[in-house]
Structures are given as C-alpha cells and as structure tokens.
Amino acid sequence: MQETITQGTTPTFSFTLPLEAAQLKNFFVTFRQSGKNMLEKSISDCVKSEYTVSTTLSQKETFLFSTDQGVQMQVRLSDKAGNAFASPVFPLRVAPILKGGEVI
Amino acid sequence: MSQKAIYLQPNVFHFDLQEHLSPTPTVSNEVIQARKLNGTDYTSLQEAIEGELLTLKALITAGLTFVGTTSSKPTAQGGAVGDFYYCTNDGLYYAWTGKAWQVCGDSTKIANGSVTPEKTSFISGSGYPDLFRNKTLLNNKQLDNLGTTFTSSGYNTNRYGIPVQEGKTYTFSINGQRVFITKVVFKTTDSIVAVDGEDVTEYFLSVHNSLGLNSITAPTGAKYMFASMSSSYQSQYGPMSELVVQNTQEPQPVNNDFCLSDFITIPHYVPSNLYGLTMMTLGDDLSAEGEWQEYVSKYLGLKAVKNFSSSGAKVSQFLNYFTPTLAADVDVVFIMGLFNSKQSQPGTVNDAPSSDDNASICAGYKFLIETLYSLNPNFKIVLASPHRSPNYNVADKVKAVGEVAAYYGIPFIDVYNTAAFNDYTYPMYLRDGIYCSYGAGGGYEQEAKVIAGGLIHYFG
C-alpha cells in the first residue's frame, strides 16, 4: 500500500532492519520529488532500537513536498563489517491541508 | 443526526527492509527456475542471458558453414535430416532428406506467376514496357468508350492493365521520345477482357480521347490504365510493343534565387502562390506535347497539369477534348494558340463570342472565356500568345488576344513579343521553323521560362 505524507504533520518512518541497529555504521533516508532530492535524514536524525530505525519529519519538512506529484523514498545503509545496502525506491503520496502554515 | 467519532492517529509508517535490501535480495523461485537453461544452472539471470546468446551465436556461425559449392557439400554421412545447404556456384538450395541432398529452392529464378500486377502496384517511377509486349497486346483492337474493346484494323491495345496511382500523371514514350497515343481507359481491374462472363463495364472508370494524348493524370479510384494506339501513330513513333508509360516527376519548389535565363529572372518571391495548384492547358500543337508545361510545373511547384490541347486545333476547337468533370479540381486555365486559325481575322473585342471555325480571333477567344466562366467563375484564366516563327507573322492576332484579355481583365502573357524568338535564336529555339526544340536551352524551356515568369508576375 502506498503511504501518504500529509503536509503540516509530523510523520514517523520506521524501518525494520535485517541486522541489529547496533551494527549500523551509516544510515540515510532520501526523499526525492520531481527528479530532485528534497530531503535527506542521516543516522544522527534517527532513533534506533533493537532491529528498527525510525525518523520523524517536522511540519516544515513536509512542506518541502508539493501535493501535485508523488515522492520517492529510499534507504541506504552500511554496517560495521563494511557491507553496503540499498532498499527499493518506495513511492509515497503527498496530501494537502486546508489551513496553511505550521500548527504550534 | 448521529455523531461520528473521528480518531486522530499519529502518522507512523512501517517499512520492513529485511527482504528488500540489496545486495542480499531474496530470490524468488521463478527467478531460480529461470536461471536454469539448457541444462546449465547459471548464478544470475544476466549470466544466463549472456551464456545463451553465446550459444546461439555459435549455432549461427556453425550454420554459415552450410554455404559452399556443389563439390563441397557434406557427404551423405555428414548431414542430418533437415540440414540445409546453399551452393554459390549453382544458386540452388539443398535439404538433406536423410539419404541425399535434394534441391528445395532456386535463388536465380522467380517462380512462374509469382509477380502479379497487384504485387508491383507500389511502383510509380518505372516504365512498364513488358505490358505492351507483342504477346500481351490485342492486335486490331481499339478501346471503346465503355472500357471494353472493339475490332479496329491497325490498332493495338494492352490486354493487361498498367498499375497506376490516382492523382499521378503518366507520360508515354517510345525509345525515349515522347509520343502520342490514341485513347486511354482507366479501370479498377487489371483485365480489359471479360473472364467467365463477368461484366467488365462494372470496373470501368473513365475514358480519355485525344488526337494528341501524350500524358494523362490518373483519376480518383484508378488502379489500372489501358491504352490504344493507332497504326498511324505506330508508323510515326514505333511499335506499341515498345511503349513505355512513366509517372512524371513530382513538382518541386525551386530555390529562391533561381534564375530563369539571361533575359528573365524570376523575382525573389518564388516559390509562387501557384505552388500546389492544378493548371489546365488548352491549345494547339504548341501545347499538345506537354513539354513546356513540364518545365512550368517544375518551376512553380504545380500539383498537376492537365493538358487538353490537341494537334491541328483551331481556336474554336480548343474545348473539343476538354472534360468538365476532369477539370473539377483545376485552379488555373491557360489558353495559348492561334497558328491553325489561318482563316480567322484578328477582329475586335466588340465581336460577339463565336465557336465558328472561321470566326475572328477575338470572337473565338471570347467564346472560350465565356464558356469556361459559365462552368466555373473561380477559374483563374490566363491567355498567352504563341512564340514567334519565321513562317507565321501573327502580330495582329497576338494583339487581338491581348485586347481580349484586357477586355475581361485577365492576365495576358505575351510570349510572342518577349520570349526572344528571332532570327538569331530561331536555330536554337525551333526544330523545324515552327515547333520548339527539346531539351536544355531549347525552345520549350525558353517558352516555359517566359510563361512561368508571367504567371508569377500576375499571381505572385
């Protein structure tokens, strides 16, 4: 199922890994729209648990995406043994909001 | 109205990367099966494809060894049933039956009956002399006006139709020289005679009679052309068995800087407004051959020229071979000629229109113009004087034609007084003192340059 990012929200992306999160050396989540990388989250932006890594977008970050096109997301990571991995590219939708701006 | 509870959930998306991270993707059973090809278990699909391509290439290379000569064919023990062998020295194809090499094809011949008119109907630029060979000509037969033939001594008619394309113009020649033929019929079937009692008139499309027919445009729906040639024409030009029908060259726009001659330069606005239009020509011997029309068509990029001119025609006879239905798509009507109206006086523009053979030039031309306008007031009618000849002094008649043009306010191209036909150029422009010479630098080309220049002058 294709997930939907709603503008002006704080969506959390949680990734279940095939290796222990403690073994991660690097971890990147890239969001691309209209052929351009709009946002990148690195390991320092993520929260690790035993086999999962999650990262949350801010309201401001969700406004980087326009609602008239889909967003593509991909994870790349490397472990301490030197292996590098890449996930498939996941398509995401962007939903608009009626009241603009951030909600504090 | 009932209340509906709405629960706001935090936006949390879960992605399980355990099975999706490369370089350790999970391989499906389908892919595993696909890797096994021809007994080989490849480690990847890419290896499988590359390996099989190499095998295929090797097979093709091996197959090429089956080209050789009759003396180098494998021995009986060397072949397997179905093996195939091509011999370059005899051009034959052989197949191994299990016991011997048997001929299964001949690359040097075309099988009898395999090339039919339908299979060559795409050809538009080549001649069809074979269709007029003696054995396929009907001797002493002439086309009638219903698309069949009747007995007529000395005439020949082609038994099988020449494939044509509608809208294309075809010319007739024998041994490279343009010739006249007597009659043309267009049909939708390739046979002029009835087969198994069929009604051949069902396939009849149109008939074209002319004493001076040396080009014809295939009408809408035409698929095959049939021609009759009289014995007198064959005596004059050569046997009909040598007749060649060719599609004339498509009109091409000329370059902007095209220079007509030392005398006349087409202005820079060529291609003209006449590009893509259809012109019809009415006249006598000077136009009947269709020679100057070909040049004009090329200079101006005309779509087509329909020539209804005929040899020996007087002004009063210029409409004799004109068919209104064939002129339905005509834009420009070009009329030139008066040499044969020897008995006619120049007359004045006050003369009443007349189709009488001996009526004045003015009366005859007025009759032509009024007849044409009554058929189609949108015709762009153009009058022209003929070229000069040392044998004909028709200056007063030329003046009369110009006055008729002015009377109707239509263009008049004065070839007689502007095309530089004079004692110095007659040897170059005339082949017999009257008729224009052919080819580059000849009279027809010179005449065409003046006419094209005049048309551009009037129509832009």
pLDDT the model gives residue A3: 86
Q: Is residue B333 within 8 Å of residue B380, measured between CB atoms?
A: yes
Q: Is residue A85 within 8 Å of residue B23, measured between CB atoms?
A: yes
pLDDT the model gives residue A94: 93
pLDDT the model gives residue B252: 37
Average pLDDT, chain B: 77
Q: What is the complex's ipTM, to 2 decimals?
A: 0.78
Q: Would the pLDDT of B206 be above 60? A: yes
With CA atoms as reference, the chain B residue closest to A77 would be B21
Alpha carbon of B24: minimum distance to chain A alpha carbons (Å): 8
Q: pLDDT of B121-135, one tens digit each?
A: 444 333 344 445 445
Answer yes or no: is A28 within a domain.
yes
Backbone angles phi, psi at B360, to 5 degrees: -65, 160
pLDDT the model gives residue B121: 46
pLDDT the model gives residue B234: 83
Mean pLDDT of B6-31: 64
**In this predicted structure, which of B110-114, B292-296, B354-358 has the lowest mean pLDDT?**
B110-114
Element (H, E) at B95: strand B92-96
Alpha carbon of B28: minimum distance to chain A alpha carbons (Å): 16
Which one of B13, B16, B24 has the shortest CB-CB distance to A13? B13
Answer yes or no: is A74 within a domain.
yes
pLDDT the model gives residue B268: 32
CATH code of the domain covering residue A31: 2.60.40.10
Cis ω for the linkage preceding B267 (within 30 of 0): no
Residues from chain B contacting residue A10 (CB–CB below 8 Å): 10-11
Check B17 against A90: CB less than 8 A apart.
no
Q: Map chain A to HEC letters.
A: CCEEEECCCCCEEEEECCCCHHHEEEEEEEEEECCEEEEEEEHHHEEECCCEEEEECCHHHHCCCCCCCCEEEEEEEEECCCCEEECCCEEEEEECCCCCCCCC
Q: pLDDT of B359-370, one tens digit each?
A: 999 999 999 999
pLDDT the model gives residue B228: 86
pLDDT the model gives residue B387: 93
Alpha carbon of B8: minimum distance to chain A alpha carbons (Å): 12
With CA atoms as reference, the chain A residue closest to B12 would be A12
Residue A71: band (very low, low, confident or very high) from pLDDT cuts 50, 70, 90: very high
Count the helices and strands in chain B (H runs, E runs).
10, 22
**In this predicted structure, which of A21-25, A34-38, B89-93 has the lowest mean pLDDT?**
B89-93
Q: Is residue A65 within 8 Å of residue A93, measured between CB atoms?
A: no
Q: Would the pLDDT of B192 be above 70? A: yes
Answer yes or no: is A31 within a domain.
yes
pLDDT the model gives residue B78: 54
Check A5 against B24: CB less than 8 A apart.
no
* Residues facing B138 on adjacent strands: B157
Backbone angles phi, psi at B342, to 5 degrees: -65, -30
Check B12 against A5: CB less than 8 A apart.
no
Check B21 against A11: CB less than 8 A apart.
no
Check B17 against A9: CB less than 8 A apart.
no
* Residues facing B412 on adjacent strands: B383
Backbone torsion region of residue B373, taken as left when φ is above 0, otherwise alpha when ψ lies between -120 and 50, otherwise beta: alpha
| Burial class (CB within 10 angstroms; exposed 0-12, middle 13-18, buried 19+) of A17 | buried
Residue B253: band (very low, low, confident or very high) from pLDDT cuts 50, 70, 90: very low
Residues from chain A contacting residue B16 (CB–CB below 8 Å): 15-16
The parent domain of residue A8 ranges over: 3-95
Among B15, B18, B26, the strongest candidate for a mutation testing the A interface, having the largest count of A CBs within 10 A, is: B15
**In this predicted structure, which of A56-70, A84-98, B29-43, B434-448 has the lowest mean pLDDT?**
B29-43
Answer yes or no: is A103 within a domain.
no
**In this predicted structure, which of A20-29, B50-59, B197-206, B270-279 has the lowest mean pLDDT?**
B197-206
Average pLDDT, chain A: 90
Residue B347: band (very low, low, confident or very high) from pLDDT cuts 50, 70, 90: very high
Q: Is residue B51 within 8 Å of residue B40, measured between CB atoms?
A: yes
With CA atoms as reference, the chain A residue closest to B11 would be A11
Measure the CA–CA gap between B350 and B357, rounded to whole angstroms.
18
Mean pLDDT of B201-226: 77
Residue A103: band (very low, low, confident or very high) from pLDDT cuts 50, 70, 90: confident
pLDDT the model gives residue B413: 94
Answer yes or no: is A22 within a domain.
yes
- Domains of chain B (ranges; CATH) run 27-64 (no CATH), 65-106 (no CATH), 120-247 (no CATH), 278-459 (3.40.50.1110)
Count of domains for chain A: 1
With CA atoms as reference, the chain A residue closest to B15 would be A15
Answer yes or no: is A85 within a domain.
yes
Check A13 against B20: CB less than 8 A apart.
no
Measured between CB atoms, does B39 come within 8 Å of chain A?
no
Answer yes or no: is A101 within a domain.
no
With CA atoms as reference, the chain A residue closest to B14 would be A14
pLDDT the model gives residue B125: 35
Answer yes or no: is A100 within a domain.
no
Q: Quick one: what percent of chain B has pLDDT higher than 70?
A: 76
User: Of residues A16 and B10, which shows the higher confidence score?
Assistant: A16
Check B12 against A85: CB less than 8 A apart.
no
Q: Quick one: what percent of chain B has pLDDT higher than 90?
A: 18
pLDDT the model gives residue B276: 78
Q: pLDDT of B371-430, one tens digit each?
A: 999 888 999 999 999 999 988 889 999 999 999 999 999 999 999 999 999 999 998 999
Which one of A10, A13, A77 has the shortest CB-CB distance to B15? A13
Alpha carbon of B453: minimum distance to chain A alpha carbons (Å): 59
Q: pLDDT of B132-165, one tens digit each?
A: 544 567 888 888 877 788 888 888 888 777 777 8
Measure the CA–CA gap between A36 and A72, rounded to whole angstroms.
10
A-contacting residues in B 15-34 (Cβ below 8 Å):
15-24
Task: Kindly give the residue spans of alpha helices, DSSP state H, lying in B142-243.
Answer: 231-237
